[in-house]
Amino acid sequence: MMSEQQNAYLKAMGIDVWVERSPAVSAETEQQLKIEQVQPVPVTESEPAPAIEILPEAEIPETLESLNWQGLQTKVTECTLCGLAKNRSRTIFGAGTHTASLMIIGNAPNEEDEKYGEPFSAEAGKLLTAMLHAMGYQRNDVYITNLVKCSTFDNQDPSVDEVAACEAFLTRQVNLIKPDLILALGSITAQRLLKSKSTMSRLRGQLQYADGINAPIIVTYEPAYLLRSPNEKRKAWDDLQIAMRELSSINSKREVSALSNETTL
């Protein structure tokens, strides 16, 4: 059963919840429960764009598996493995907690993200925050990143080659976080991640698994798409509920296992 707060956030997502509302929730309280506006701190000084020399051919990065967060982020900041390096004012590595049980992956940062230094910073980011609230998470409870760490030309989808060039960075992020579940946002993210050409209708609604990624994946719509197609928010909520059930099931199994270990000691 959903909490009043989750109902309020669903309303903020634009989804009507057909359950009897508690008379105890006053209009004032409901207003307080509405989605917090994402207020990332703008960059106060414009950082000079580093001189970038694009390598003639993408080189496979040296193994990243020994790198910690700081080392990995430095590698990304210096990376010129694909042509997107020419387009960026800075790389957008990711944001959130490094011990998140839920990891969110989109396709690519945009200009707004470059301005604020975080993925999903603008209007689509506000909707993503509302979606997370509806699941019972604060934005800082999860880890959010993209397939590629540099913005694309004219906000185009990242190409297969660009995603491949950036893949090792994402894989290392996943391995460092060890999330219980990944939420893949949008068809391009899902198709590139799963190396599949299947449609959203085939990819949604069930756990998916990607080579080299040691966590189940739930596919749902991109917040930017949901802003353009609000009628699909109901389906997105269905996906989020699958994710919530899976996370709850993983937690329950973990608790049972811990209890059983205690009793055998």
Judged by beta carbon, residue 82 or residue 226, the one nearer ligand SF4 is 82
User: Which amino acid is present at 72?
Assistant: L
Q: How far is the CB of 114 from ligand SF4 (least distance, A)?
A: 12
Q: Retrieve residue 13's tokens.
A: 């997502």
Q: How far is the CB of 187 from ligand SF4 (least distance, A)?
A: 19
Judged by beta carbon, residue 54 or residue 258, the one nearer ligand SF4 is 54
Cα distance between residue 79 and residue 89, in whole Å? 13
Judged by beta carbon, residue 106 or residue 216, the one nearer ligand SF4 is 106
Q: How far is the CB of 162 from ligand SF4 (least distance, A)?
A: 6
CA 13 to each of CA 53, 104, 134: distance values in angstroms, whole numbers, following the listed order: 43, 17, 8
Please give the order of strands across the beta sheet that includes 95-96.
Answer: 95-96, 143-146, 102-106, 181-185, 217-220
Q: How far is the CB of 112 from ligand SF4 (least distance, A)?
A: 17
Judged by beta carbon, residue 165 or residue 219, the one nearer ligand SF4 is 165
Judged by beta carbon, residue 6 or residue 87, the one nearer ligand SF4 is 87
Q: How far is the CB of 147 from ligand SF4 (least distance, A)?
A: 8
- Between the CA atoms of 117, 71, 162 and 164, what dihedral angle is there, to the nearest 10 degrees? -140
Contact 19, 7 (CB under 8 A): yes
- 179 three-class SS: coil
Q: How far is the CB of 158 from ligand SF4 (least distance, A)?
A: 7
Judged by beta carbon, residue 89 or residue 198, the one nearer ligand SF4 is 89
**Interface residues with ligand SF4 (CB under 6 A)?**
76, 79-82, 84-85, 91, 148-150, 162, 165-166
- Would you call 108 exposed, middle or buried from its count of C-beta atoms within 10 A (0-12, 13-18, 19+)? buried
Q: Retrieve residue 162's tokens.
A: 């660009």
Q: How far is the CB of 182 from ligand SF4 (least distance, A)?
A: 18
Judged by beta carbon, residue 93 or residue 221, the one nearer ligand SF4 is 93
CA 179 to each of CA 84, 98, 102, 105, 200: distance values in angstroms, whole numbers, following the listed order: 27, 9, 6, 12, 23
CA 96 to each of CA 42, 78, 84, 122, 173: distance values in angstroms, whole numbers, following the listed order: 17, 21, 24, 16, 12
